[in-house]
Amino acid sequence: MTPEVANLMSDAEEEIGRIGSIPVRNLWLLMLYASDLFRDIEKAKVAVEDNPDDIPDLVAEILCRRVERRIRRNLSYGYQSREAVLGRVRGRIDQLNTERRRLLDRGKVACRFDELTIDTTRNCFVRAALEEISKVVRRRSLAHRCRSLAASLKRMGVIGERPNRSEVSMDRFGRLDADDKPMLAAAHLAFNIALPTEATGAKQLSLPDREITWIRKLYEKGIAGFYDVVLSKSGWRVDAGKTMSWQIERKTLGIDKILPTMRTDIILDHSDAGRRIVIDTKFNSVVKRGWYREETLRSGYLYQIYAYLRSQEGKGDPLAQNASGLLLHPSVGYMVNEAVVIQNHEIRFATVDLGSSAREIREQLLQVLAFPPEYYFTESRLENKTGKDSL
């Protein structure tokens, strides 16, 4: 790489910004992997890893297309609870307010009723997403398109305040409004991508070490979403957040209240190949300072993945007999990819460099799933490691 190219890449990273030491473009990539849109993009053969800086434009384009499609087919309506003073009874009478304000003397009545409206929580969320994503897209024409669609929704009557995510998550889809799901998925991703950086701006966001829960969940969902989309077409089955059961022979009455459950982050199964990989994502350093050495693996994580693997043996599941475990940590600027076989189970400790390019991140996620057999030292080769034998 020439110095000129390196300077251009550095300038581009400064323009886009970072959160902590992670380029925002790579957080965009994780958000895309974690979303339902990634499956459609992968089917369309769009290599987002080639141009990660274009992810906001890609998401905005998808959101605009789906909003335009819903407008052509009419936006879905919904019922909204209202309270109003009317000249006739509508819905239920609010007797307390009617008597307190002596409305009957003026020929009025306070009512509570449900009104069919286009100004629903769902449509308000989509309009707000268009407004937010327009601030981060690179193409001016696309930003104008987002703002125009948001203005069109306002003219149609979608004028409510932006709802929060909990309100949107409570929204339920019926048979007639199932077409809203792709539009809402794009709106969710648009809101995620429109996050600020540590650079000076109008918005603020805590650093990852102060907002560790948010970025830990993003990392976990992003890894699970990537493997689900990329590996499922090769015969792999991907389960995220699967609960494992203990092989309990006897128990006391109160143990169920205090016995911890085993809930894995990701399980990859390939029946034809006879492989199972149990993945646990950890958003911290893969090693720490030890008592008697500079670096050591975190013993608690090793015990955890060991319990995941050994506790499932003898249950009649052939994939559990030689399942492997993977502790997958993020890193910036360095790589770790080491493994050990304990009682017929391979346990690997690996990192994904979130400071590298998007294409390299994709390759790293695939490479950590397979070591060649010659990677391991046998006992005899370990003994001769300093002698004639070498890798």
Rounded mean pLDDT of the chain?
82
pLDDT band at 372 (very low <50, low <70, confident <90, very high): low
Distance (Å) of CA 319 to CA 231, 315, 347: 17, 10, 15
Task: Please say if the pLDDT value at position 134 is more than 90.
Answer: yes
pLDDT band at 73 (very low <50, low <70, confident <90, very high): confident
- pLDDT per residue over 102-125, tens digit each? 999 999 999 999 888 898 888 999
Task: Please say if the pLDDT value at position 237 is more than 90.
Answer: yes
Query: Quick one: what percent of the chain has pLDDT higher than 90?
Result: 40
Query: Which domains are delineated in the chain?
Result: 3-76+120-193 (no CATH), 82-114 (no CATH), 212-247+258-383 (3.40.1350)
Average pLDDT over residues 142-165: 91
Task: Please say if the pLDDT value at position 270 is more than 90.
Answer: yes
Quote the pTM value: 0.74
Q: Rounded to whole angstroms, how far apart are CA atoms 123 and 183? A: 10
Distance (Å) of CA 370 to CA 95, 130, 352, 363: 71, 41, 14, 12
Lowest model confidence (mean pLDDT) among 15-19, 97-101, 223-227: 15-19
- CA-closest candidate to residue 358, choices 42, 27, 87: 27
pLDDT band at 4 (very low <50, low <70, confident <90, very high): very low
Angular region, 287: left φ>0, alpha ψ -120 to 50, beta rest: beta
Average pLDDT over residues 245-268: 92
Task: Please say if the pLDDT value at position 25 is more than 60.
Answer: yes
Distance (Å) of CA 311 to CA 247, 248, 317, 327: 7, 10, 12, 17
- CA-closest candidate to residue 133, choices 186, 201, 65: 186
Contact 321, 285 (CB under 8 A): no
